[in-house]
């Protein structure tokens, strides 16, 4: 429902040209807010926000969050950070800088403006967990010198900064620990399991399962995730987080491959590849806190979310093939 004009806010979304960010921007605009999207387009694309061209309540700023940002806004969502291993390992030093320097700059901005700030944290703060599912009280098991550390430790340090600005400067913060999310506008070449499997299935290429395929993940559809962001940000009963947001329905990677093959009617075979270093064996959110305090839980079943995601990739492939001819 669009909000009344007097509750209209000017909201900064960093990483707003990315997968989750662009969906968040759409929802904030639908609610009648003004949105300033700041993004350096490292993994995001203008294509994700091109439908907003000409919208007087939308503004795009090409900006790298590792540099200071002086703007005037009422609220901040900090999503800027490459999210998939192939992207965040491409320039690991920049990844840590994006999380840490980015958090410092945006917290400094929020402190000057005395405005509420949301951090997109991650289930990766739990690393390769020894307890299952993971509640927010679990401190995690992260290898600080491995290839995933630039992302995991960067996000952990960003959480530290958020809670210290909260305690030291009485800043109002919201920290969401996001578990694997999928949907339209995912990057086709981000190397993540949902995009890889769908692209492979649509092209009838072999589906690459890493390891034995018995490792599990829990996949949340993007619309449910954005509902969770908004509920957490708008919650006024003192919940700063961290709060797990994700879909607790757990699937093995092999099951995911089989479902995608069935839904696409693909002729792809399954092939096994080596498991990457520090690949978590199990991941499932414990969302009791979000259920209780935010009255939030995902409602989209895997099949129902995979269908629009598959359509998105089909369109993308046909557009690219059309462009090549
Ligand atoms: P994405 O890569 O599509 O979006 C990230 C956006 O940040 C991109 O538009 C990118 O260009 C931008 N960006 C990267 N570095 C930047 C910098 N230095 N300055 C400005 N912009 C920069 O990824 P996503 O899946 O939309 O993830 C959004 C946020 O959610 C990230 O912070 C990510 O860590 C977090 N998250 C996502 C998932 C998921 O499953 N998608 C899971 C856990 C956490
Ligand atoms: N900052 C910013 N925009 C602002 C205010 C601050 O980008 O409107 C950045 C600035 O680079 C600063 C950082 O945020 O270094 C942290 O700000 P804070 O006030 O916490 O620290 P200080 O300025 O004292 O180092
Ligand atoms: N994976 C896979 N084949 C692929 C891509 C990923 O089997 O083509 C596996 C990967 O090893 C991991 C799981 O799928 O066990 C999820 O990987 P993704 O990179 O999507 O997310 P994350 O590991 O960050 O949860």
Q: What is the pLDDT of residues 222-238, one digit of tens each?
A: 999 999 999 999 999 88
Among the listed residues 115, 311, 39, the one whose alpha carbon sits nearest the alpha carbon of residue 198: 311
Q: Which of 13-17, 109-113, 242-246, 276-280 has the lowest mean pLDDT?
A: 276-280
Q: Which of 77, 151, 182, 221 is catalytic?
A: 151
Write out pLDDT tens, residues 44-61: 999 999 999 999 999 999
Alpha-carbon span 131 to 11, nearest angstrom: 37
Closest CA to 315 of 24, 52, 47: 47
In percent, the amount of the chain with pLDDT more than 90 equals 88
Coil, helix or strand at residue 86:
helix
Mean pLDDT of 79-108: 96
pLDDT attached to residue 1: 42
pTM of the model: 0.95
Pocket test for ligand 1, best of 27, 35, 79 (most atoms within 8 A of CB): 79
The stretch 133-144 carries a mean pLDDT of 94
The one-character DSSP state at 66 is T
pLDDT at 277: 78
User: With 0-12 CB in 10 A as exposed, 13-18 as middle and 19+ as buried, what is 89?
Assistant: middle
Q: What is the pLDDT of residue 6?
A: 58
* Tens-digit pLDDT profile for residues 246-267: 999 999 999 999 999 999 999 9
Give the number of the ligand closest to the Cα of residue 187.
1
What pLDDT, in 10s, does the model give residues 3-36?
A: 445 589 999 999 999 999 999 999 999 999 999 9
- Ligand 3 pocket, mutate which of 152, 189, 193, 217 (most atoms under 8 A from CB): 193
Residue 81 beta carbon below 6 angstroms from any ligand 1 atom: yes
Q: So what's the ipTM on this one?
A: 0.96
* Model pLDDT, residue 71: 98
Is the C-beta atom of 18 inside 6 A of ligand 1?
yes
- Is the pLDDT confidence value at 320 over 90? no
Q: Which ligand is nearest to the CA of 221?
A: 1
* CA–CA gap between residue 321 and residue 268 (Å, rounded): 20
pLDDT at 276 over 90: no
Predicted confidence (pLDDT) at residue 325 exceeds the cutoff of 80: no
In this structure, which residue's CA is closest to atom 16 in ligand 3? 193
pLDDT bracket for residue 323 (50, 70, 90): low
DSSP assignment string, 248-283 = --EEEHHHHHHHHHHHHT--PPEEEEPPPTT--S--
Does ligand 1 lie within 6 Å of residue 64's CB atom? yes
- Residue 86: nearest ligand to its CA? 3
- Cβ of 213 below 6 Å from ligand 1: no
pLDDT at 280: 79
pLDDT of residue 198: 98
Active-site residue 70, yes or no?
A: no
Give the pocket of ligand 3 (CB within 6 Å): 85, 180, 192-193, 196, 208-210, 215, 217, 253, 275-276, 279, 283
pLDDT grade for 324, boundaries at 50, 70 and 90: low
């Amino acid at each position: 429902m669009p909000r009344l004009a007097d509750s209209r806010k000017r909201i900064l979304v960093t990483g707003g040209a990315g997968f989750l960010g662009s969906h968040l921007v759409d929802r904030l605009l639908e609610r009648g807010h003004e949105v300033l999207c700041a993004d350096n387009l490292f993994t995001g694309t203008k294509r994700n926000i091109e439908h907003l061209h000409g919208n007087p309540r939308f503004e795009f700023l090409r900006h790298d969050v590792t540099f200071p940002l002086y703007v005037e806004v009422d609220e901040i969502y900090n999503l800027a950070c490459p999210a998939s291993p192939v992207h965040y390992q491409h320039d690991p030093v920049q990844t840590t800088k994006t999380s840490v320097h980015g958090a410092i700059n945006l917290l400094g901005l929020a402190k000057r403006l005395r405005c509420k700030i949301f951090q997109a944290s991650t289930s990766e703060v739990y690393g390769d967990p020894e307890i299952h599912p993971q509640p927010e009280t679990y401190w995690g098991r992260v290898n600080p010198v491995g290839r995933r550390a630039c992302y995991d430790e960067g996000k952990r340090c960003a959480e530290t900064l958020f809670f210290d600005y909260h305690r030291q400067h009485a800043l109002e913060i919201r920290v969401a620990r996001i578990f694997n999310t999928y949907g339209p506008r995912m990057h086709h070449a981000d190397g993540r399991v949902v995009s890889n499997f769908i692209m492979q299935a649509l092209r009838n290429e072999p589906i690459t399962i890493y390891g034995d395929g018995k490792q599990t993940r829990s996949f949340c559809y993007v619309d449910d995730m954005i509902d969770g962001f908004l509920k957490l940000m708008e919650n006024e009963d003192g919940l700063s987080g961290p709060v797990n947001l994700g879909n607790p329905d757990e699937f093995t990677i092999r099951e995911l491959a089989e479902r995608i093959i069935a839904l696409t009617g693909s002729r792809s075979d399954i092939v096994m590849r080596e498991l990457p270093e520090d690949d978590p064996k199990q991941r499932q959110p414990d969302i009791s806190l979000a259920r209780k305090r935010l009255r939030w839980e995902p409602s989209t079943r895997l099949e129902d979310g995979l269908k629009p995601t598959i359509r998105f990739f089909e369109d993308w492939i046909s557009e690219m093939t059309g462009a090549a001819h």
